[in-house]
Amino acid sequence: MERKLYEAAMAGSVNTLLELRQQDPLIVERPTVNCLSETPLHVAALLGHEDFAKEILRQKPRIAEELDSRKSSALHIASQKGYVGIVKALLQVIPDKCSDTDVDGRNPLHLAAMRGHIDVLEELARAKPDAASARLIWGETILHLCVKHNQLEALKFLLENMGDSELLNAKDDYGMTILHLAVADKQIEAIKLLTTSTAIEVNAVTANGFTAWDILAQSKRDTKDWDIGELLRRAGAISAQDLQLPANELAVIQTNSVTSHENNQKHEGKKDLKGTPWNLDDWLEKKRNAAMVVASVISTMGFQAAVDPPQSPQLAASSFVVWNTIGFLASLSLILLLIIDLPINRILFAWILAWIMSLAIVAMAITYIVSIALIGDPNSSYSNNTTSAVLVWMAAVGIVSALVHISRLMVMMIKRMRKSIRRLSHIQAQDGRDYEPPIASVL
């Protein structure tokens, strides 16, 4: 009879349950009397047989309190599996059992959060709100479980509905907050949520003395590191070593971090001529692609000219070879730099590429002039006019480029001077002394 009862539970057959109940009114009592590990309700909760679970609860409500060998009730199992109908039926019978823990110290809310079952979380939190604050055996909270198991939606739900700053910044037994875990696992969306929408302590220190910034710096290199670093800097994250600095120096570091991100936001707010939001990374990537194409074309031209040079007097031919070689090597250097992608400041890298590209273009222009002189009549108006046109073009481009670079350099220097003055002013204000920038009126 007990075997038939379990077969009915596995099949979810309510009719078989009713027939067995008519044959033996105590059939539902026997599994618990015989100390079997799992009750038919456990089986129904595991397989999602909602009608069977409701019927057996109607016949014997207290069966919902029975535990298996891992101290799990049917509510634990249904919550972990995400069967919200069975969860609702169980909560009508045992609403206070949401805080009961299994052998691993996890209650039904913990299990639902680990699997990301938002609808189940909502029902459980409504029945027993305090259960969400329970800690696990290693001091972990339900928020730690959400991050560990990468359940972003469950994390959002709990943060929106709990509003507990103490739980938000809680540490496990290793001193890890949920931000530490998110950074260690490179979960960009979770980091963005925590640093922009919550009051998370971005510079909390672990038991080993590490901040979230330190964890990122020590982690294995990844393509996500730049975005994570930007989010952390925007939130004012610093290293544990910087936390030991005096208050005035610490304030300067945090101010610089915020200022850097404000500048990035200004760039991100720009739009191109088509109205598309301007992004520095996208702009640099487009420039890199264009530079690669141009460098490939120049290197091809240089190689072709080297294997089939114009026939000419020795002196002119040597000039042709020299300038053609300069342009060829410059283009190859440009291609090499674009491939290896030096780990330096993006703007500095773009400037280096621009100067090498300029050298390659100038060398190709001079090679063209020499070629005209070699293959044409030096006294003809065609050769003279062509040479003059190229020289005028080079001079005009050189003057414009010089003016642009000089103006950019001056703007950069002025901005740096202003930042230095603001930093000094901030430090003096922290020390309680008045400070009057000597050239503030000029700038």
Please write the tens of the pLDDT for every residue from 44-87: 999 999 999 999 999 889 899 999 888 999 999 999 999 999 99
Given a cut of 60, whether residue 431 has pLDDT beyond it is no
Q: What is the pLDDT of residue 442?
A: 30
Q: Mean pLDDT of all residues in the chain?
A: 79
pTM over 0.75: no
Count Cβ atoms within 10 A of the Cβ of residue 73 and give its class: 0-12 exposed, 13-18 middle, 19 or more buried: buried
- Mean per-residue pLDDT for 164-179? 90
Res. 163 pLDDT band, cuts 50 70 90: low
Locate 311 and state its tokens.
């026939």
> pLDDT band for position 265 (50/70/90)?
very low
| 190-248 per-position pLDDT tens digit | 999 999 988 899 999 999 999 999 999 888 887 888 889 989 988 989 888 877 755 55
Q: C-alpha angle 276/281/287, rounded to 5°?
A: 90
Residue 61: name the closest of 46, 48, 79, 73 by CA.
73
Q: Which residue has the higher pLDDT, 45 or 97?
A: 45
What is the model's pLDDT at position 36? Answer: 57
CA 128/CA 72 separation, integer angstroms? 18
Question: DSSP letters along 297-338, please?
Answer: HHHHHHHHHHHSPPP--HHHHHHHHHHHHHHHHHHHHHHHHH
Least confident of 106-110, 232-236, 398-402, 422-426: 422-426
pLDDT at residue 286 in the model? 65
Specify the residue for token string 């045992």.
94
Q: Distance from CA of residue 111 to its chain's centroid?
A: 26
The percentage of the chain sitting over the pLDDT mark of 90, rounded to a whole number, equals 33
> In this predicted model, which residue has the larger pLDDT, 200 or 343?
200
Residue bearing the bigger pLDDT, 379 or 130:
130
Residue 396's pLDDT band, with cuts at 50, 70 and 90, is confident
Statement: residue 281 has pLDDT above 90: no
Q: What is d(CA 124, CA 122) in angstroms, rounded to the nearest whole number?
A: 6
How far apart, in Å, do the first and last CA atoms of the chain sit?
A: 93
- Angle subtended at Cα 205 by Cα 201 and Cα 209, rounded to the nearest 5 degrees: 165
Q: Mean pLDDT lowest for which of 99-103, 272-276, 320-324?
A: 272-276
What does the pLDDT average to over 106-132?
94
Paired with 271 in beta bridges are 277
Q: Which of 167-171, 274-278, 301-305, 366-370 bottoms out in mean pLDDT, i.e. has the lowest?
A: 274-278
- The predicted pLDDT at position 241 comes to 83
Over the stretch 77-90, which tens digit does the pLDDT of each residue have?
999 999 999 999 99
